């Protein structure tokens, strides 16, 4: 059996395949084929190239403050997040979570006498319907209604203060490059010919691949590997490094690996994939694993190894903007490029390639570009989350980073969810909260467990506000909740402050006051 995205339909971009009602609705909002670009009148306060998450926030925020704004989009408004990233992937993860819950229902005394079935076409159509329902928020019509001149087409700098969209020249006082990133193309011979999927084509599938190879065990790879295993695919996850999620806390990554294994994902690390080929209806990978050559057959291959910045075709040389094809546009702490008129944000310029980072840098750019602000992206405290089940979230320094900077002064406190009443009752005892601190000052934290992405925000707020661990001990949490684990971390820190001398003094006082 071969599995591939829906067959192309003449005149319809690949993003909107299959040609369903939901995808037609999506297209009408984010890439309307009958859109007529406006005629520019005079110089713009701000021209934004790229209408993904960061570009949309920048354009809307600037227009709301009274700026004259032009917004240019080459493909579809909403960018990767709405169309081929966060929104569709989280819809699939939600479906996969329900499938896993049904499978485990017997543990809670819920009998499913007739069994259950995962309807892959139905869950994919649900994803497309929900994506289309969210699309109006990012639509060309909405942003035009905000007073923004929306141009659909390819934007390219003609000089240091002009952007061309086709034959139309847009003069600007300031400009913002918010073109985002794209899936990295691996230099593996035959991979493209074998029809390998990326996040840009995965969500056009209409059939479940019985055997799925996932190359790259970072966040994207782990999330989709678990989801498709729960849908019923036999999934093999490949990683060149020695473990999955190699940049995350090793103990936390191990918890995720064990969960993926329980769901049927086979992970093969320290592997080199030498070439791929189409073998009839199958996709064949030739690889070396720890010195042993192997050949494995699959029905589909998904590549999820990271992002590359979209810098090609922008005319950056003409604009006097320095860039690197691998790391993106060069910016200073204020997000200004080597052309003082032009700023850059989000995936095209940042190390942290998250939608929430694009939004945060957009807010900085509005202040810095339009009002001569001095806000620095280097001051941002950025949490992130991998949405496997259990989730893995992090903020601040990892333990090895904390010890490199502060040595033996670092204290690490860990609270397992297996000791939390709510986690026990919910049957979600895997994982923990881990916090690193020096004299109570929080340096970083990792949470792996159910709703870790929500729980990490409490620690992020505490770090941002300069709260110490002892203060978290005094925060009252509803009982029973998983968030009580954070309070217990604070309690554990306070116990370290109760020295033998204090204990002796308290004992004397209490004896005297009997």
Peptide bond into 390 cis (omega under 30): yes
To 10 degrees, what angle do helices 250-262 and 219-231 make? 20
Q: Mind spelling out the 3-state secondary structure of 87-99? A: HHHHHHHHHHHHH
Token pair belonging to 321: 């903007």
Provide the 10 A C-beta neighbour count for residue 429.
16
Task: Give mean pLDDT, residues 268-284.
Answer: 94
Strand order in the sheet with 282-289: 271-279, 282-289, 292-298
Q: Which residues lie below 8 Å from residue 166, measured CB to CB, with a gap of 6+?
A: 37, 153, 154
Cα–Cα dist 416/75, whole Å: 45
List the Cα angle 263/264/268 in 5-degree steps: 120
pLDDT computed for residue 9 by the predictor: 56
Q: What is the CATH number assigned to the segment(s) 390-496?
A: 3.30.390.30
pLDDT computed for residue 279 by the predictor: 87
Per the CB < 8 A criterion, the answer to whether 442 and 459 are in contact is yes
Q: Where in the chain is the domain with CATH 3.50.50.60?
A: 14-183+308-379, 199-306
Ordered alpha helix ranges (H), 174-290: 199-202, 219-231, 250-262
Parallel/antiparallel/unpaired status of strands 432-438 and 411-416: antiparallel
Q: What is the pLDDT of residues 16-51, one digit of tens each?
A: 999 999 999 999 999 999 999 999 989 999 999 999
pLDDT computed for residue 8 by the predictor: 53
Per the CB < 8 A criterion, the answer to whether 101 and 398 are in contact is no
pTM, entire model: 0.94
Q: Where in the chain is the domain with CATH 3.30.390.30?
A: 390-496
CA 153 to chain centre: 26
Token pair belonging to 314: 């922008």
Q: What is the pLDDT of residues 135-176, one digit of tens each?
A: 999 999 999 999 999 999 999 999 999 999 999 999 999 999
Cα–Cα dist 493/405, whole Å: 20
The fold adopted by the segment(s) 14-183+308-379 is FAD/NAD(P)-binding domain (3.50.50)
pLDDT computed for residue 485 by the predictor: 96
How many CA atoms, within 13 angstroms, populate the side-chain half-sphere of residue 441?
10
User: Measured over all CA atoms, what is the biggest interatomic distance in the chain, rounded to whole angstroms?
Assistant: 90
Token pair belonging to 479: 């009982």
Task: Give mean pLDDT, residues 360-365.
Answer: 96
Per the CB < 8 A criterion, the answer to whether 31 and 13 are in contact is yes
**CA quadruple 146, 147, 148, 149: dihedral, nearest 10:** 140
Per the CB < 8 A criterion, the answer to whether 323 and 344 are in contact is no
**CA quadruple 144, 150, 152, 153: dihedral, nearest 10:** 180
pLDDT computed for residue 488 by the predictor: 96
Mean per-residue pLDDT over the chain, rounded: 94
Evaluated on CA atoms 116, 119, 125, 127, the torsion sign reads: positive
List the Cα angle 198/76/312 in 5-degree steps: 70
Tell me if the domain spanning 199-306 has CATH number 3.90.1300.10.
no
Binned at pLDDT 50, 70 and 90, residue 108 comes out as: very high
Cα–Cα dist 491/456, whole Å: 18
Residue 11 has pLDDT above 70, yes or no: no
Residue percentage of the chain with pLDDT more than 70: 98
Residues in the chain: 514
List the Cα angle 100/104/105 in 5-degree steps: 115
Cα–Cα dist 493/88, whole Å: 41
Cross-strand partners of 385: 393
Cα–Cα dist 390/278, whole Å: 35
Residue 361, helix vs strand vs coil: helix
Parallel/antiparallel/unpaired status of strands 307-309 and 234-239: unpaired
Residue percentage of the chain with pLDDT more than 90: 88
Binned at pLDDT 50, 70 and 90, residue 511 comes out as: confident
Evaluated on CA atoms 124, 127, 133, 139, the torsion sign reads: negative
Q: What is the pLDDT of residues 475-490, one digit of tens each?
A: 999 999 999 999 999 9
């Amino acid at each position: 059996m071969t599995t591939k995205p829906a067959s192309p339909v003449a005149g319809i971009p690949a993003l909107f395949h299959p040609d369903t009602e939901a995808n037609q609705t999506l297209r009408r909002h984010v890439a309307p084929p009958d859109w007529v670009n406006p005629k520019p009148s005079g110089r713009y306060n701000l021209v934004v190239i790229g209408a993904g998450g960061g570009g949309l926030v920048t354009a809307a925020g600037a227009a709301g403050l009274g700026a004259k704004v032009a917004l240019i989009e080459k493909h579809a408004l909403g960018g990767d997040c709405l169309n081929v990233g966060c929104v569709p992937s989280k819809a699939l993860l939600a479906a996969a979570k329900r499938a896993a819950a049904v499978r485990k229902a017997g543990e809670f005394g819920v009998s499913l006498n007739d069994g259950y079935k995962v309807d892959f076409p139905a869950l994919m159509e649900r994803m497309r319907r929900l994506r289309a329902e969210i699309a109006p928020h990012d639509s060309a019509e909405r942003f035009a209604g905000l007073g923004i001149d929306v141009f659909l087409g390819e934007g390219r700098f003609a000089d240091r203060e002009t952007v061309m969209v086709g034959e139309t020249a847009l003069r600007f006082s300031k400009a913002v490059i918010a073109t985002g990133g794209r899936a990295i193309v691996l230099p593996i011979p035959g991979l493209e010919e074998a029809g390998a999927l990326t996040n840009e084509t995965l969500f056009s599938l209409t059939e479940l691949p019985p055997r799925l190879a996932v190359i790259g065990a970072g966040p994207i790879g782990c999330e989709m590997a678990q989801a498709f295993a729960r849908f019923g695919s036999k999934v093999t996850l490949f990683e060149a490094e020695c473990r999955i999620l190699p940049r995350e806390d090793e103990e936390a990554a191990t918890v995720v690996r064990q969960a993926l294994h329980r769901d049927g994902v086979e992970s093969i690390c320290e592997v080199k994939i030498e070439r791929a080929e189409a073998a009839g209806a199958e996709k064949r990978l030739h690889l070396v694993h720890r010195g042993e050559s192997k050949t494995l057959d699959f029905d589909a291959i998904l590549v999820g190894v990271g992002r590359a910045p979209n810098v090609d075709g922008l005319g950056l040389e003409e604009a006097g903007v320095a860039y690197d094809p691998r790391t993106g546009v060069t910016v200073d702490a204020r997000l200004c490029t080597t052309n003082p008129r032009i700023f850059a944000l989000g995936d095209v310029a940042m190390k942290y390639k998250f939608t929430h980072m694009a939004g945060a840098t957009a807010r900085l750019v509005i202040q810095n570009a339009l009002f001569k602000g001095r806000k620095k992206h280097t001051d941002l405290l950025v949490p992130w989350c991998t949405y496997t089940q259990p989730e893995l979230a992090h903020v601040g320094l990892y333990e090895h980073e904390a010890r490199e900077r502060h040595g033996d002064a670092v204290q690490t406190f860990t609270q397992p969810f297996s000791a939390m009443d709510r986690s026990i009752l919910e049957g979600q005892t895997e994982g923990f909260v881990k916090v690193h601190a020096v004299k109570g000052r929080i340096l970083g934290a990792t949470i792996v467990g159910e709703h870790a992405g929500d729980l990490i925000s409490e620690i992020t707020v505490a770090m941002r506000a300069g709260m110490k661990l002892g203060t978290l001990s005094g925060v009252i949490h509803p009982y029973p909740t998983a968030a009580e684990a954070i309070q217990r971390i604070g309690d554990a820190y306070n116990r370290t402050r109760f020295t033998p001398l204090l204990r002796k003094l308290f004992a004397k006082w209490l004896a005297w006051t009997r």
